[in-house]
Structure 1
Amino acid sequence: MTKSIHFELSFSEPQAHYVDVQMMIEGFEDQEYIDIKMPVWAPGSYLVREYSKNVERLNAKNTEGNSLSAIKTAKNTWRVHNPKGKLVISYSVYGFEVSVRTSFIDDSRAFLSPVGTFMYVDGYLDLETSVKIHLYKSWNKISTGLQKISEENTFYAPNFDILFDSPIEIGNQDTWSFDIDGILHECAMVGPADYSKDQLTEDITKIVREENKIWGSNPNDYYVIVTHNYQNGSGGLEHLNSTILAASRFGYSQPSAYKNYLSLVAHEYFHLWHVKRLRPKALGPFDYEQENYTTGLWIIEGFTSYYDNLIIRRCGFFDETEYLQKLAVDFNLVYNRPGYLLQSAAASSFDTWIKQYRPDENSQNVAISYYNKGAMHAAALDIKIIAETHGAKRLDDIMKAAYEHFYLIENRGFEEDEFQALAEEVTAVNLDGIFKAAHSTEDIDYNSYFNLVGYELVNQADDQDHQSLGIKIGSNEGHTVIKNIDRNSAAWKAGLNVHDELIAINGHRIEINGKALDYILSHSEEGEKVKILISRDGLIREIEVELLTSNKKSFSIERMTNATEEQRRLGNIWLSL
């Protein structure tokens, strides 16, 4: 008998944040039992999130409606014995976490993260499936990348990889569609916000066309952009033919915030090619039960982080100064974390499962982000290629060639050495130094690249001489407390701790605004000793701290005043519209 799996979703208690799931299974009579599993992580968000923790009231029945044994054998696995005839697995999923990667349900809407909603039969991820959605009484819209196959709100997925990569927004979202060069795009705005449909349509069209130029073709005929509008929102998650974004509802009328939103659109849309199709070997086919390790996130996320703002520049939304300010942010974020001396971009990629999404008070001392460091490496690659080919080639040519070779022709993931080899073949430029730097904590001279195109990386803090404890402070129930301490800073060496309450410095009361602290530091010399009164776990003590000059960086990227005509020409190619 042909094996089949179908789902039905309903909402008997949306106000309590539940979706009810029925999983209909047929064709497994030849097996003594089947294992029903739920993924533990979401592709594109590299953290084991234990989605099965939200599953409740799971039960199994056979064709006659009799209950079957469904024994939980692991954190995300239920074993059903004697799977004869048509089985119905029923369960409820609790969803009340606001993010682009987790389900959220209330009486106004439901956002369903598919990896945390749908289960699969172990060993049968390749089975096609369908999902029928019963709308709650006050809802009237469904936005998803899944193919609709009936007017009864039934959708089709050719396999579970597609199902798990197709989030579903249900409710009364504001939707509109528009065609971009033969590809239908749907925008779904969730929640009130001050956006203009016409402006968004025009600007998203520019972004899509600019990205199509890079890749040469677009693999979709339908693409969905769902934006969750919050009081304060940010972030996004890419999918095969859709993306989920989070934005601030009043940001669309603010030029800076709106451009940041467009950059987010550019970032997630770029992933349509770069990660969803062109990808490291480790990232597909997926193992949904455990970590999928790769050192290559600096390429797929870092390069995408380089391109998002560059595309906004090419579209004309950023002027040159705005773009360079955005690029300088990556350098400031990396170089103001002592962890850049301990962790490479590749190591950051590999350790994403335990560090990137689980920051703590010491994270800045031990880790960097492959997003920022990868973007820095991508900038160096782009500039080096432009300079050494005299403007004939750039990073765009590598991306297009890699997409065509690894995805369109060979339909497989790449190893990093293969990616580098192809890049060097396409450009005839030796890129070994930058690729090796991605696997090393030894720094490279980025100005040796920027100077090639008439720009320079300038540390504006070089001439500043002010003392620092090397801490970040915050408020905890009205008390001024230490939130972070930089490695090898004055506070680090003196033995101040995170969570210490700061009471006084040199006899002056420290308020949450930090005025006394700032005043003392600004009127002190390096090597001078100050006495800080603290409370640690309710015990009062005084700690003497020897001050050190701040080593914080403040980078900007500027045009060289003595650039040659050729450098200026190449720089114009780099930042051309």
Structure 2
Amino acid sequence: MRYRIAADADAPHYLAVEADLDTITTQTVELQLPAWRPGRYELQHFAKNIQRFQVVDDTGQPLPFRKIAKDRWRVETNGVSALTVRYNYYANIINAGTSFVDEGLLYVNPINLCLYAEGRIDEECTLELDIPADWPVACGLRQLAPGVLWARDYYELVDCPLMASPFIQEVSYEVQGVLFHVWIQGGWRTDGTDSFDPERIRRDFSQFSVKQIELYGEFPEKEYHFLTIVLPTAFYHGVEHRNSTMLVLGPNDEGEGLYQDLLGVSSHELFHAWNIIRIRPAELLPYDFTKENYFTTCFVAEGVTTYYGDLMLRRSAVFNDAAYLKELQVMFKRHFETSGRALQSLVESSWDLWLDGYEKGVPDRKVSVYYKGAIAALILDLHIRRRTNHARSLDDVMRTMWAQFGKPFLGYTLDDYRAVTEAVAGESLDWYYDLCIFGNQPLEAKLNEYLAWVSLRIEYDESHTIHLLETGDEAGLLQRAKWFGAPLTQEPHEGAVAEENLERT
């Protein structure tokens, strides 16, 4: 397919799309628009945003077509060898998975609006943008010429969002031969000053990138892009992609809080470059964009990543102890105070992401694969560390998953993950899977058993608000330093973790 995207001259906030298909040899062609996007495991029905739709041959004459499903069209080719599809797409919402156009920004997630021809999804694609020549384009795709992008197949095309704007700032850095780009659009305060310090970004991002690459021993790509849109309103959203991440944050006047959000979501999404982009559940290889792709291991994809996102900021000394413990407290609050007595297990809630995983839902039904998944990962990490005196850890689990499944790009199953965790632990983990993964029992007691080993504990107060406390145990502080992989940065003490500004936007 060859795609051309421009602002629709006849309809504000619509994108005009043309898609050319050649070397046609069949009597009919079926065209499919995805029903969902990777990184968000729910049906989103992008076809609902199409206003006009037309198919013509290479002379511009209309070809007959009919819609055979909500997002699928069958075209009668009438013997022609090439056709062009012309349609427009409503692009007036900004989050990390949408598309948007106005006079100063073209933001496209190709998964929203680039259809494909059935049977030809593995063919190379080009994407041409109708933008001013001086607009820089931030994207992980190869650029053949200004505004012209190339993908080896449709899967790569739709896993590479793009931003084009005259107002984009770029900060780049290099780690172990990998070039990283931090692209920021809208990163100015209302007084016109920068929301971010480029040198601080370069320093902090380099530090956590180094630690993540050290864990796995290598990086999957030659380049990586952090695409960031900063809004004037409160926002916090990130989505992982093949060699990039799309981030939307706000408000731009929040100052230090905005920068902490940028760090937290960026570290999380970078960890996805290994975990889910390549260490991928078997049920998602390859993606089927026409329907739900059910899987039970989102607690690995998102829970383990949530755990490591903040831990890597501590290991790299971007966060000190106090900053990391605040993030732990936020995670504990979000699970225990909202779904600590929910009836679903992690595997059940992983499966039901496709039903209502991103909605509040009915009370005490589901758990968050992000927050309970991260708590389960923490318990497993501390269990392996305690049993082996830090000789092995969850790091070894993830390295093994990378070597066995990620690097060769072979999908893993829940049984595969369990086998790897038990091999690293050197014992059966029946208790762990029965309690933390397949069970729905409260986790406070088991969590406190392991937190005590690192001089921490959680407690509820009279209003059922949970607090993370430090016990001041000297032996536990030594274990905590080994867990962090870095010297402690605060004086040992006993008491509550400071709770001001606990909640992110």
Letter in 1 for 2:159: D
Root-mean-square deviation (CA), in Å? 1.9
Query: 1:238–1:244: 8 Å Cα contact kept in structure 2?
Result: yes
Counterpart in 1 of 2:150?
A: 156
User: C-alpha displacement at 1:152, in angstroms?
Assistant: 4.3
Query: 1:14–1:105: 8 Å Cα contact kept in structure 2?
Result: no
Counterpart in 2 of 1:412?
A: 410
Q: Secondary structure at the match of 2:350?
A: helix
Count of matched residue pairs = 474
User: C-alpha displacement at 1:240, in angstroms?
Assistant: 0.5
1:569 aligns with 2:478: yes
User: C-alpha displacement at 1:428, in angstroms?
Assistant: 1.6
In structure 2, relative to structure 1, the CA distance for the partners of 1:460 and 1:560 (3 Å cut) is farther
In structure 2, relative to structure 1, the CA distance for the partners of 1:14 and 1:113 (3 Å cut) is farther
Deviations 1:378-404 (A, max 9, x none): 110110111111111111111011101
Separation in structure 2 between the aligned mates of residue 365 and residue 425 of structure 1, nearest angstrom:
34
Counterpart in 2 of 1:555?
A: 467
Counterpart in 2 of 1:94?
A: 90
Separation in structure 2 between the aligned mates of residue 186 and residue 429 of structure 1, nearest angstrom:
42
Separation in structure 2 between the aligned mates of residue 367 and residue 560 of structure 1, nearest angstrom:
35
In structure 2, relative to structure 1, the CA distance for the partners of 1:408 and 1:192 (3 Å cut) is closer
Q: Secondary structure at the match of 1:260?
A: helix
Counterpart in 2 of 1:289?
A: 290
Counterpart in 1 of 2:241?
A: 239
User: C-alpha displacement at 1:329, in angstroms?
Assistant: 2.1
1:73 aligns with 2:75: no
Letter in 1 for 2:54: N
Separation in structure 2 between the aligned mates of residue 423 and residue 225 of structure 1, nearest angstrom:
31
User: C-alpha displacement at 1:136, in angstroms?
Assistant: 4.7
Q: Secondary structure at the match of 1:42?
A: coil
Query: 2:42–2:353: 8 Å Cα contact kept in structure 1?
Result: yes
Query: 2:281–2:413: 8 Å Cα contact kept in structure 1?
Result: yes
Query: 1:14–1:106: 8 Å Cα contact kept in structure 2?
Result: no
User: C-alpha displacement at 1:321, in angstroms?
Assistant: 2.8
Q: Secondary structure at the match of 1:282?
A: helix
Letter in 1 for 2:396: D
1:344 aligns with 2:338: no
User: C-alpha displacement at 1:167, in angstroms?
Assistant: 0.7
Runs of at least 4 residues off by over 6 Å: none
Counterpart in 1 of 2:174?
A: 179
User: C-alpha displacement at 1:339, in angstroms?
Assistant: 6.3
User: C-alpha displacement at 1:412, in angstroms?
Assistant: 0.9
Pairing of 1:106-185 with structure 2 (within 5 A):
106-136=102-132, 140-149=135-144, 151-172=145-166, 173-185=168-180
Counterpart in 2 of 1:311?
A: 312
Pairing of 1:312-327 with structure 2 (within 5 A):
312-327=313-328
Query: 1:266–1:308: 8 Å Cα contact kept in structure 2?
Result: yes
Separation in structure 1 between the aligned mates of residue 114 and residue 432 of structure 2, nearest angstrom:
42
Deviations 1:224-248 (A, max 9, x none): 1111101222110000101111122
Q: Secondary structure at the match of 1:556?
A: strand
In structure 2, relative to structure 1, the CA distance for the partners of 1:339 and 1:75 (3 Å cut) is farther
TM-score, length of structure 2 as denominator length: 0.89
Q: Secondary structure at the match of 2:126?
A: strand
The gaps in structure 2 that reach 5 residues or longer are 189-194, 487-505
1:392 aligns with 2:391: yes
Q: Secondary structure at the match of 1:7?
A: strand
Counterpart in 2 of 1:190?
A: 185
Counterpart in 2 of 1:218?
A: 219
Counterpart in 2 of 1:426?
A: 424
Counterpart in 2 of 1:64?
A: 59
Deviations 1:524-546 (A, max 9, x none): xxxxxxxxxxxxxxxxxxxxxxx
Counterpart in 1 of 2:35?
A: 40
Higher relative contact order (CA 8 A, sep 6+): 2
In structure 2, relative to structure 1, the CA distance for the partners of 1:251 and 1:327 (3 Å cut) is farther
1:52 aligns with 2:47: yes
User: C-alpha displacement at 1:423, in angstroms?
Assistant: 2.0
Letter in 2 for 1:225: F
Separation in structure 1 between the aligned mates of residue 339 and residue 128 of structure 2, nearest angstrom:
51
The gaps in structure 1 that reach 5 residues or longer are 465-549
1:26 aligns with 2:22: yes
Counterpart in 2 of 1:526?
A: none
Separation in structure 2 between the aligned mates of residue 432 and residue 124 of structure 1, nearest angstrom:
45
Counterpart in 1 of 2:493?
A: none
Separation in structure 1 between the aligned mates of residue 338 and residue 439 of structure 2, nearest angstrom:
16
Pairing of 1:395-474 with structure 2 (within 5 A):
395-409=394-408, 411-436=409-434, 437-444=436-443, 445-451=446-452, 453-461=453-461, 464=462
Deviations 1:35-58 (A, max 9, x none): 111001110011111101111221
User: C-alpha displacement at 1:458, in angstroms?
Assistant: 2.7
Deviations 1:203-237 (A, max 9, x none): 11111111001111001111111111012221100
Pick the structure with greater CA Rg. Answer: 1
Counterpart in 2 of 1:16?
A: 12
Separation in structure 2 between the aligned mates of residue 250 and residue 56 of structure 1, nearest angstrom:
33
Counterpart in 2 of 1:201?
A: 202
In structure 2, relative to structure 1, the CA distance for the partners of 1:91 and 1:334 (3 Å cut) is same
Counterpart in 2 of 1:253?
A: 255
Separation in structure 2 between the aligned mates of residue 156 and residue 446 of structure 1, nearest angstrom:
48
Letter in 2 for 1:206: Q
Query: 1:309–1:323: 8 Å Cα contact kept in structure 2?
Result: yes
Counterpart in 1 of 2:191?
A: none
TM-score, length of structure 1 as denominator length: 0.79
Q: Secondary structure at the match of 1:298?
A: helix
User: C-alpha displacement at 1:315, in angstroms?
Assistant: 1.8
1:84 aligns with 2:80: yes
Query: 1:298–1:374: 8 Å Cα contact kept in structure 2?
Result: yes
Mean Cα displacement is larger for which, 429-438 or 225-234?
A: 429-438
Separation in structure 1 between the aligned mates of residue 342 and residue 147 of structure 2, nearest angstrom:
53
Letter in 2 for 1:415: T
Mean Cα displacement is larger for which, 11-20 or 272-281?
A: 11-20
Identity over aligned pairs, percent? 26
Letter in 2 for 1:295: T
Mean Cα displacement is larger for which, 374-383 or 17-26?
A: 17-26
Query: 1:259–1:317: 8 Å Cα contact kept in structure 2?
Result: no
Query: 1:190–1:228: 8 Å Cα contact kept in structure 2?
Result: yes
Separation in structure 1 between the aligned mates of residue 279 and residue 258 of structure 2, nearest angstrom:
30
Query: 1:339–1:367: 8 Å Cα contact kept in structure 2?
Result: no
Letter in 2 for 1:286: Y
Deviations 1:230-286 (A, max 9, x none): 1222110000101111122536731x4422320111000000000000021112211
In structure 2, relative to structure 1, the CA distance for the partners of 1:86 and 1:77 (3 Å cut) is same
